[in-house]
Amino acid sequence: MSQNYGLKFEETMFWVIHRRREYGPFDYEWSTDLAGIALLYRGQKFGEHCGPEQIYADLSEFKLPMTVVKVASIVLGCAVFSLQKGDSSVKRKEFLKKELAKQGYKRFLENEY
């Protein structure tokens, strides 16, 4: 049976499950000089994090549901923030759970795999 809401992770990639549909994979990759991080949807760059005060992201061309955009943005934002701090995978996961719950998306944590 399909889940209504959730997140699916595989290494650095993740999928957002919204109303029984999977959207993704969302991913990131470091620039060659390790100074920035490209944000990807289905392998296509949609944004970039260039430093603590510089981030650009635009998923509008993919016509995704707004909830998917918001959840994916939270997940990617938490990943970038935690990676730059050097947090462990356990700390990164706890931070993500806290942020999703704080923003009203706790239902996406109930079916995480």
For the chain, domain boundaries: 5-108
Largest Cα separation within the chain, whole Å, is 44
The predicted model scores a pTM of 0.90
> How far, in Å, CA of 55 to CA of 105, rounded?
22
| Among candidate residues 26, 18, 42, 36, the one with its CA nearest the CA of residue 74 | 26
**Length of the chain, in residues:** 113
Q: What kind and span of H or E run contains 83? A: helix 66-85
Decide: helix, strand or coil at residue 57.
strand
Question: Which residues have a Cβ under 8 Å from the Cβ of 43 and sit 6 or more positions away?
Answer: 27
Residue with the two structure tokens 């909830």 = 67
Query: Which of 4, 2, 6 minimizes the C-alpha distance to 105?
Result: 6
Q: What is the pLDDT of residues 18-58, one digit of tens each?
A: 999 999 999 999 888 877 899 999 999 999 998 777 888 99
Q: Tens of pLDDT along 55-101? A: 889 999 999 999 999 999 999 999 999 988 899 989 999 999 999 99
d(CA 48, CA 57): 6
